[in-house]
Amino acid sequence: MPLTNTQYDRIFRQYEEKQRQNRLETECRRDYVYAHLPRYRELEAETASLSVEQGKKLLFGDDAALSRLHESLASLKEQKKQLLLDAGLPADYLEPLFSCLDCRDTGYIEREKCHCLKQAEISLLYEQSGIQDMLKHNNFSQLSYEYYEGESLALFRHAVETCHSFIKNFISDYRNLFFYGTVGTGKSFLSGCVAKELMDQGYSVIYFGAAGLFDLLSSVSFNPKNRDERQNTYSDLYRCDLLIIDDLGTELTNQFTASQLFSLLNERHLGKKSTLISTNLSLAELRDRYSDRIFSRITSNFEVCRLAGEDIRMYRLRK
The predicted pLDDT at position 135 comes to 83
Res 123: pLDDT: 77
Residue 19 lies in a domain: yes
List, for residues 275-301, the tens digit of each pLDDT value. 999 999 999 999 999 988 999 999 999
Show the low-confidence residues of the chain (pLDDT under 50): 1
| Inside any domain, residue 61 | yes
**Structural domain ending residue among the three candidates 33, 65, 86:** 86
CA 28 – CA 26 distance, rounded (Å): 5
Asked whether residue 105 is domain-assigned, the answer is no
Pairwise CA distance, residues 40 & 79, whole Å: 8
**Amino acid identity for residue 108 in this structure:** Y
* Segments forming the whole domain that contains residue 276: 130-318
One domain, residues 156 and 28: no
148 within some domain: yes
Residues 244 and 310 in one domain: yes
Say what the pTM is.
0.65
DSSP state of 169: T
Our measurement of the distance from residue 120's CA atom to the centroid of its chain's CA atoms, rounded to an integer in Å, reads 8
Same domain, 228 and 306: yes
Q: What distance in Å separates the CA atoms of residue 195 and residue 139, rounded to the nearest whole number?
A: 8
Q: Is residue 188 part of a domain?
A: yes
Q: How many CB atoms lie within 10 A of CB 259?
A: 12
User: Are residues 266 and 159 part of one domain?
Assistant: yes
Distance CA 189, CA 197 (A): 13
